[in-house]
Chains A and B, each alone.
Chain A
Amino acid sequence: MKKIFLLIILSALLFTACKKSDSTAPDFDEKNLASLSVEFDNIVGGRTLTFNNTAIPYTNAKGEPFSISMLQYFVSNIKVTTTSGQQYTVPQDSSYFMVNGADKATRFATVKVPEGDYSKLTFVLGVDSLRSTMPIDKRVGVLDPAAGGGHGGGGMYWGWNAGYIFFKLEGNSTVISDDQQGDPTGKKQFRYHIGGFGGYSAPTINNIKTITVDLNAAGIAKVRKGRQSNIHLFVDIMKFFNGSTTLSIKENPNVMFSAYSTNLAKNFNGLFTHDHTEN
């Protein structure tokens, strides 16, 4: 009898212990860091992202069929907020990522944050103005101007107007004309290279967008040592076409450093939805 009683007490103790470690957020300690990943899962409307699917193209709100041949964007300056309102900003040097739609390995932005329960995620789509004007030594990894094979290829750096391309989307659409207004090479290619950090000495276009994602509805991130919390986001490229600005590929097959690019950058905010969190 005594033994059974002891067993009950011990089991009860065990349960509380389990419960405690599972639901009580640890004390917020900026030195007690654990891993958190943010997953950028690229989709196009109701379909997954497939490259060059010209046979069964996607269709935007303007009714224009299109396929995608390249998708790359920068994610930087990750910041998280706990359920009790404590904020943590990932140190800048570890907070630049380039998501390449063609390389699944790049879909995670993995950072270290204090153990805790997080209900809010904030990041920048693009590269902040400070980093955009930093000395060459600070431009390493994904920020290396040599990375990716130049701005004509997969590169994300504009040499002539020193700065980064934040978001690069290329593809094809049969609606594109073969003249100067469209694609004179006849390849019917569209190119959206969105950048512009606000200018070095005079204020110029600023397409840096801060994205805030509320994690409460689809699951807060419980960051603990020895575990991998993963915030799974859907990035819906269709929203780039169908946002506050409805993009017509026929009318604007090439948008790079131009005033119109600011309209498209305003669509960025709608791209990101929180699907779930794996804790």
Chain B
Amino acid sequence: MLKIKNLEAGYGKIRVLKRISLHVNPGEIVTLIGANGAGKTTLLAAITGLIRATAGEILLKGDNLERLKPEGIVFRGCSLVPEGRQVFATMNVRENLVLGAYVQHRQGKRQLQEGIEYIYDLFPVLRERRHQLAGTLSGGEQQMLAMGRALMAKPALLMLDEPSTGLAPLIVKNIFQIITRLREAGNTVLLIEQNAKAALRVADRGYVLETGKIILEGSSEDLLTNRDVQRAYLGRDVKEN
């Protein structure tokens, strides 16, 4: 689905991503874990076209994305749920979802309504709040709305940037359950998370990003038991000799 080879990108003279190669197979949940400043969000910015890659290749279903504008990339089937949700606060829930379907604007009213109903089934709380302004929702509800809005585009690849940030633990658990359900519904997900343990529990595979480089790749199971990952990201107390 997504294939990245030797990607380099940054801001001005600062090279944040040094040489990133990764891939996401169809139907997979892949997580990218790493500390603050490792380059996770920069990577998403490069994939979505918000910044230009200075070297390397980004392929979505075999098509190069590096030269496309952000809207072109969305039309190719790549949707982002940004960090901090970024819902349209002064619009109601339904309107937010309709906007998410922008790339599907050629579809008829009936399909649009079906899409919205599908999102309501996935997140029943959004149906209850459908006439409420997005800005008045709780953090967890806003996260669900942001995910629902991205799904309205029927993306081939859904990218989630730190969906657990700033949410209460119980809500976080709920969000990760929803991510698992997304896979069951056949979605392909690239999940960026600081909460490495939770992310690895829902993902099939993972990559560890450190100072702009991928230092480890493996099945989630393997990464969870890797001692380096445990020490650096899972907060496991390992006695030093």
A and B are partners in one complex rather than unrelated chains: no
